[in-house]
Amino acid sequence: MNEITFNKPFLTGNETAYICEAVRMMQLSGNGIFTKRCQRFFEQKYGFGKCLLTTSCTDALEMAAMLCSLQPGDEVIVPSYTFVSTALAFVREGAKVVFADSMNNMPNLDASKIEALITPRTRVIVPVHYAGVACDMDAIMAIADKYHLIVVEDAAQAIDAYYKGRPLGTIGQLSTFSFHETKNIISGEGGMLCVNDERLIERAEIIWEKGTNRTKFFRGEIDKYGWVDTGSSFLPSEIIAAFLWAQIECMEQIQNKRKQLWEQYYTTLHPLATKGYFQIPFIPDYATNNGHLFYLICKNIKERTALINKLKESNILALFHYLSLHKSAFYAAKHDGRELPNSDKYTDSLVRLPMYYELQPSDIERVCKTIADMYI
């Protein structure tokens, strides 16, 4: 049996042509034609505020953390079940991370439990839209309004996904996306910060450009530029933006295909889930699915290990991910000691199935058949 790998980056075919174009124009550093084209696309299609391409979602999160102007000891509420960068970006700014637990029926953070975590030092909430499925943003924004908090959406996995008809990434004051090769739309490494609060745009551009007001200078708004604030080199080169533009042009095609594959997994595995062998993804009424990833929740770590091994024997690669951050080597000693049982549950029992553009319907049949063989 041929190997069914876990992820395979999809090339639309125009990537190298656009890179050549960037090279021919001899415009290789950041914020050139392709960068502006990508940023404008996202602003217009989804209604994001100011979009700034970055070299990764991690960088976009670091920019967001800088824009929150945190003081040492300020607290940031972050789910424990997420990628390291969601928390690390804020820890680097001196914040204390207060980890929130996931919901019982899905990995997103439990909005009903956020208010209990708020103290006079709380400044930011960082909802992560896991698998591109929206967090309950009305509930989160209501708490943020009540306590005057900033909301940074970690929308790394959530391109082209919606909450009650609103695109994810438009709801918090700031939001971040990833174009890492494992995501739906890719540029190798890559990301984007969206600044929905107009008051933060000017400073975001400065932080993006090494703490200088160079962006203003290039727009002709000032006659020289200099060092005015903190920042770093967060902008990607035009070569990366050119690659991304080729992906953006095929976005609808990519999204339709991924959603079809996801639906096939869902309908094929639904009967087994109904019998109680495992859980399949739950999509609340307020959320859409963007076909980013398909996961199962096994009964426990033993069953998950058995399932991963069973798939591996059939030459199918399935992977688990996210180890509760409140138990991580870096942060466990700084955590306040609260148990976060749902986060631990997903750490032990969630497994991701192969998911990529070129996956064939027959591949999905084979994956599902192999899974069924283990249980029936």
Ligand X SMILES: *Cc1c(COP(=O)(O)O)cnc(C)c1O
Q: How far apart are CA 107 and CA 91, in angstroms?
A: 22
Among 62, 101, 154, 238, binds ligand X (CB under 6 A): 154
* CA distances in angstroms from 285 to 169, 268, 288, listed in the order given: 18, 21, 8
Residue type, 185: I
* CA distances in angstroms from 260 to 106, 162, 236, 257, 292, listed in the order given: 21, 17, 32, 5, 11
Closest distance to ligand X from the beta carbon of 170 (Å)? 18
Closest distance to ligand X from the beta carbon of 295 (Å)? 13
247 binds ligand X (CB under 6 A): no
Q: Which of residues 124-143 bind ligand X (CB under 6 A)?
A: 128
Closest distance to ligand X from the beta carbon of 55 (Å)? 8
35 binds ligand X (CB under 6 A): no
Q: Do 118 and 146 form a contact (C-beta atoms < 8 A)?
A: no
Q: How far apart are CA 168 and CA 249, in angstroms?
A: 20
CA dihedral sign, ordered 313, 318, 322, 324 = negative
Among 31, 85, 215, 268, binds ligand X (CB under 6 A): 85
Q: Which of residues 45-84 bind ligand X (CB under 6 A)?
A: 56-58, 82-83
Q: How far apart are CA 254 and CA 14, in angstroms?
A: 14
Helix (H) or strand (E) holding 207: helix 201-208
Closest distance to ligand X from the beta carbon of 294 (Å)? 15
Closest distance to ligand X from the beta carbon of 235 (Å)? 14
157 binds ligand X (CB under 6 A): yes
319 DSSP 8-state letter: B
Closest distance to ligand X from the beta carbon of 242 (Å)? 18
Tokens of 231: 């920042």
19 binds ligand X (CB under 6 A): no
Displacement of CA 353 from its chain's centroid (Å): 18
* Residue 128 or 364 with smaller CB distance to ligand X: 128
Half-sphere exposure of 39 (CA within 13 A, CB side): 21
108 binds ligand X (CB under 6 A): no
* CA distances in angstroms from 305 to 241, 356, 367, 371, listed in the order given: 39, 23, 16, 13
Determine the interface stretch with ligand X among 108-116, 154-162, 224-232, 280-288 (rule: CB under 6 A): 154-162
End-to-end Cα distance, the chain = 22
**C-alpha angle 122-124-130 in degrees, rounded to nearest 5:** 130
Closest distance to ligand X from the beta carbon of 158 (Å)? 9
* Residue 57 or 297 with smaller CB distance to ligand X: 57
Determine the interface stretch with ligand X among 17-25, 98-106, 149-157, 295-303 (rule: CB under 6 A): 149-157
Place of tokens 């708004």: 221
* Residue 56 or 212 with smaller CB distance to ligand X: 56
156 binds ligand X (CB under 6 A): yes
Q: Which of residues 266-295 bind ligand X (CB under 6 A)?
A: none
Strand 166-167 and strand 162-163: the pairing is: antiparallel
Closest distance to ligand X from the beta carbon of 191 (Å)? 5
| Total interface residues for ligand X by CB under 6 A | 14
Closest distance to ligand X from the beta carbon of 128 (Å)? 5
Determine the interface stretch with ligand X among 102-110, 151-159, 309-317, 338-346 (rule: CB under 6 A): 151-159
Binding mask 167-196 for ligand X (x = CB under 6 A): -----------x-x----------x-----
* Residue 89 or 367 with smaller CB distance to ligand X: 89
Displacement of CA 128 from its chain's centroid (Å): 7
Tally DSSP H helices, then E strands, for the chain.
Answer: 12, 11
Binding mask 355-374 for ligand X (x = CB under 6 A): --------------------
Residue type, 179: F
Contact residues toward ligand X (CB under 6 A) are: 56-58, 82-83, 85-86, 128, 154, 156-157, 178, 180, 191
